[in-house]
Structure formats: C-alpha cells, structure tokens
Structure 1
Amino acid sequence: MQATNTSLSTDLVREFVIAGHGNLDKVRKMLEENPELLNASYAWSETDHETAIQGAAQVGSAPVATYLLEMGAPLEICTAAMLGRKDEIERRIREKPDNINSKGAHGIPLLPHAAWSGDLELVQYLFQNGAKTGSSSALHNAVTRGYYDLVVWLVENASPDLDSKNFQGKTPLSVAMERKHENIAQFLRGHGANE
C-alpha cells in the first residue's frame, strides 16, 4: 500500500520490511545505505502496518531482531517475547497489565511470538496471566522449531486446533513430518492430529 515515512519510497520500505522477515545480510546492506529505514513502517492495509523488526519478531528471526535493536530499533513486547526476554516481559506486564493482550504485526498475539523463543516458562507465564489467544499459531511455531516440551504443554493446556493450517496450508503434523521431528509427529498423531 504505502510507507509511513514520506522521504522513503514505498517500494524501498516494503523491500526492507520483507527483508526483516529473516534476511539479515539484506537488512544490514539496506540499513547502511538508508539508515532512515530503521523504523520505517509499511502499510499492508489501512489497519495493518509493519516495521522490519516486527517482521523479524513474527517469524522468529532473532538475528535480524537483535541487529535492529543494536541499531536503535525500539524493543516492543512481542519482540521481547520472541527473544525470550522473560524479565522484560514480566516488568512490562507488572507496569501495565493490559500488555498481556499486545499484538504484533498483522494482529499476531503475544503467545505465538513467545513460542518462537522455546522458553516454556515464558509461554506458561503469559498463558497463566491471560495470553490465551493464538495457541494454534504458537503450536505451529513450536513444531517448526522442534520444541517438543513446548508442543506437549500447548496441546495439553492451551487447546490449540491440531488441524489448523499455517500460511503455507500445512498442519502442525505435516510440518513435524517435513522437518523430521519424529517425536513431535508421534505425539501429535497420538492426540488425533491429521496431515
């Protein structure tokens, strides 16, 4: 749609935000050439804006997020969750309890961001404090990374849809099999998951 920073071309901002989804080399190169891209936001629609660090957070790209933070990007709660920064999360929720309902780019809730970290205690903390939405996406993220203990906890406690499909149209079981996470695939099958 368009970029929120008018001194930058919309296409350039879009390219940078897309690179933020995991292409660290491209992010570095683009930021060196155009430092003002750091916090530039691309508007996918009127209500859906995204920065490169938000893109990194939603796909679990810790290297890109860490680099952007080092360059001065703000640490939002969803990024902190993806990076497993439990102390930071707890502080923010203590200071403002409604932060438990925070959402990142594309309206993705806090729980799926935390699942990227693989930190079971962080996911449990968020869930026990009210972050109940996004359990199916959290399951997908945990399966993708092969976090067996987190997968088990989510299935047994967070009621995710075991047959939900990710953006590629794949179920958690399909992803587990594709990534050769045999223990996760066996566990999911045992709980009635389908390909």
Structure 2
Amino acid sequence: MPDLSPDRIRAFVIAGHGDLATVESMLAQTPELLNTPFEWRPGDTETAIQGAAHVGQPAIAEYLLARGAPLELCTAAMLGRRDDVSRLLAEHPDGAGAVGAHGIPLLAHAALSGDTGLVGDLWQRGAQAGAAMALHHAARLGHLALAGWLVANAGPDLGWRDFQGKTALETAVARGDHAMADLLRAHGAVE
C-alpha cells in the first residue's frame, strides 16, 4: 500500500516548487503522488505540478507532464506553450479568469514564461488580474521587455509586495538589475 500520508504528500508538493531530484525520487517510490493534492487550508489545495507552475519551475513541470500530470492552463502559460494556451482557452472560454494554486491568477503564471506576446494576448482575452504579481515575476527574472509592456499597458500596482515583503523595484535593486530598476522608477516606482 502506497504511503500517501499528509506529510508525504506535503513533502512531494513542496519538492515540486524547486527540487527536481526529490520529485524524481519520491515519484519513483510512490507514483500515486503524481496528482495527489495537499490541502494547505480548507479549500486551498495544490499538486506538485501546480507548485512548479506558480513558482516558474519548467523542468519540474515538464518532468511531471511526461509522467502523466494534466496540462492545466496556468501550467501551459508558465511554460510559454502558446498553442496549448490557445487550445485550452478555446475549450474553456472563461479560462482567462483561471487561477492556479493559492488563487494565483493566469497572468502571473504567464509572466513566468517571459513571453511578452503571450502575456499581451492573455491580457487582451481578459486575463487582467494579477498584473502586479506578473510585474514582480518579470523583475525577479530579468524580463525587461515584459516589465516594460506591463507598466505601459497593464497598470500594475508598483507598491505591491510579494510574500517576502518586497516590491518589484526592491527585487530589481537586490538583483543588481539597473535597467529594470530604471524602468520601474521611470514609471513611478519609489524605494
């Protein structure tokens, strides 16, 4: 009988956020973990692939997809899979309002891909929630063109803070990304 204890499920989902070796090892030992969600609190569940999707771990997401995890819209967006995103939106016309784990909006997932065209297309289709988080992802990952598009078109809250309490500008400064910091300051971000 497989070990699907809450502690083991939690460990697998946490590994999905950034530890490919642990994901591989745990899945080899317990394949049933693949699509088993962990409930962080009532109504807030997450699978390993959803964890990979909302923190921008494409290698882990691809590994889990290759083993049979479902390709959800937010994962496809994080991976920058435009054709899959278009197909999934055609199948689910209200998909622009999709959220992943923890209620994280589709636009924020798409920003992790760094694909300005994809983000712009999703914005035009109605995926307009999460612009500040999307900008933060762009700043954290050094996606300057995407950050420029977001501040010019999406009106993100430049004072929004991530789970570490940092703004996009503070993140850019901490990374030593002067071009990103200058862009954000030029659009009104302050330290």
TM-score after normalising by structure 1: 0.95
Match of 2:13 among 17, 39, 43: 17
List aligned pairs for 1:58-97, cutoff 5 A.
Answer: 58-97=54-93
**Equivalent position amino acid for 2:26 in 1:** M
**Equivalent position amino acid for 1:53 in 2:** I
Partner of 2:94: helix, strand, or coil? helix
Whether the 8 Å contact between 1:171 and 1:194 is mirrored in structure 2 is: no
Partner of 1:54: helix, strand, or coil? helix
Partner of 1:44: helix, strand, or coil? strand
Shift, 1:24, TM fit: 0.5
Give me the whole-angstrom Cα distance separating, in 2, the residues matched to 1:31 and 1:70.
12
Whether the 8 Å contact between 2:161 and 2:168 is mirrored in structure 1 is: yes
Whether the 8 Å contact between 1:42 and 1:50 is mirrored in structure 2 is: yes
Whether the 8 Å contact between 2:139 and 2:171 is mirrored in structure 1 is: yes
TM-score after normalising by structure 2: 0.97
Match of 2:137 among 141, 145, 159: 141
Partner of 2:39: helix, strand, or coil? strand
Shift, 1:95, TM fit: 2.5
- Structure 1 stretches of 4+ with a deviation exceeding 4 A read none
Whether the 8 Å contact between 1:111 and 1:127 is mirrored in structure 2 is: yes
List aligned pairs for 1:122-161, cutoff 5 A.
Answer: 122-161=118-157
RMSD: 1.1
Structure 1 unaligned runs (5+)?
A: 1-5
Give me the whole-angstrom Cα distance separating, in 1, the residues matched to 2:190 and 2:19.
32
Aligned length: 190
Structure 2 unaligned runs (5+)?
A: none
